[in-house]
Amino acid sequence: MTATASPGRSHDLIAPHGGVLVDLRWPEDRWEALKAGVDHVIECSDRNACDVELLLVGGFSPLGGFMHQEDYRSVIEQHRTTTGLLFGLPIVMDTDDPSISVGDRLLLTYRSQELAVLTVESRWEPDKPAEAAGCYGTTSIEHPAVRMIMAERGRFYLGGSLQGLELPSRVFPCRTPAEVRATLPPGEDVVAFQCRNPIHRAHYELFTQALHASNVSANAVVLVHPTCGPTQGDDISGEVRFATYERLAAEVANPRIRWAYLPYSMHMAGPREALQHMIIRKNYGCSHFIIGRDMAGCKSSITGQDFYGPYQAQDFARDHAPELGMETVPSLNLVYTEEEGYVTAEHAQARGLHVKNLSGTQFRTMLRSGEAIPEWFAFRSVVEVLRAA
């Protein structure tokens, strides 16, 4: 396992979180010795596997494994570890196995792969209502992450160091932070765009126009970095989303856009998630982060009420960006007009332009029925992939 310190800017890119880009993977010729004498074999859930992968490759740098109880509590209460390091959400392993004890070595598997060995250094029964209230601002199981920690995560949480074996085999190839950093231009800003859905025309306009923001360098690039792990139950699967991204990247062939995929499981945690995404993208070499209205927000399926205010995530991320050494790029409120194409809503209103609208519900209905979808709304290549899925 290796961990390299990167003080200041590494190769003229932003330094990783905590100054260290972690790599917890062991060379293959040492795997058998590492696995010898493990006490338990634990199968990872899809979410566990995402967390293990990001720990192994340094996406959660500077963490060297799953958080201990003290850091878990500290992150819940004040979005910081016990050393004062910013973290949006706690990173823990869970189990229902009561026989696992401190000092045990666990082989973590996932779909017939052996991912890592976890040395258990702490074990506790979490206060899940307190975790929900602290991280998500609610204890309602109408919130998808509250439902996840209550119904999916096990009774016990485990903290401890990880030693990496294989990375999960995925349909979408997820480059490591070091690999992504190697593709970025030295000395230029890198603007991160996070999404969890197929990219439509408005998204494309949004992240390409962000390159012209006043706080972005002239030759900056944008890293389109979608999350391809578990999201909300009604979201399009990661495999299908990956196919739309690949087709779109080939179609636009824009040299100022870099594409990579993130094995991260969404929590829909609003402001806390915005901070978590910024930290992860910093580790991947991004200096700027596009943050939109109601980022990573969600609604109650009973009342229809939002769990977070429309600008709560934006404000939270902006307030903590200086401590991370990053800058935020506010998401423009773009609309499509008959006269001038995509412009800001404020510009359209001031000029009296005719705005065209198409809701997500209408789009899905048209998609299912085979009705022609206007190209101002969606790229034809993306529509073709969605209809073939």
Rounded distance between C-alpha atoms, residue 106 and residue 38, angstroms: 6
Rounded distance between C-alpha atoms, residue 332 and residue 213, angstroms: 10
Which of 7-16, 112-121, 162-171, 322-331 has the weakest average pLDDT? Answer: 7-16
* Side chain identity, residue 302: I
Which pLDDT does position 235 carry in this prediction?
Answer: 67
Q: How many percent of the chain have pLDDT more than 90? A: 84
pTM, to two decimals: 0.93
Cβ atoms of residues 57 and 23 within 8 Å: yes
Output the six-digit token pair for 299. 């609604």
**Under 8 Å CB-to-CB from 240, ≥6 apart: which residues?**
198, 385, 386, 389
Rounded distance between C-alpha atoms, residue 181 and residue 185, angstroms: 9
Pairing state of beta strands 113-124 and 156-164?
antiparallel
Rounded distance between C-alpha atoms, residue 56 and residue 165, angstroms: 9
pLDDT (average), residues 141-145: 94
Q: Alpha-carbon dihedral of residues 358, 360, 366, 368, nearest 10 degrees?
A: 170
The model's confidence at residue 35, banded by pLDDT at 50, 70 and 90, is: very high
189-237: pLDDT as tens digits: 999 999 888 999 999 999 999 999 999 999 999 999 999 877 665 667 7
pLDDT at 79 over 60: yes
Rounded distance between C-alpha atoms, residue 273 and residue 255, angstroms: 29
Rounded distance between C-alpha atoms, residue 43 and residue 92, angstroms: 15
Using a 10 angstrom Cβ sphere, with 0-12 exposed, 13-18 middle and 19 or more buried, the burial of residue 98 is exposed
Using a 10 angstrom Cβ sphere, with 0-12 exposed, 13-18 middle and 19 or more buried, the burial of residue 369 is exposed
Cβ atoms of residues 345 and 306 within 8 Å: no
pLDDT at 264 over 80: yes
Rounded distance between C-alpha atoms, residue 49 and residue 228, angstroms: 12
The distance of Cα 209 from the centroid of its chain, to the nearest Å, equals 22
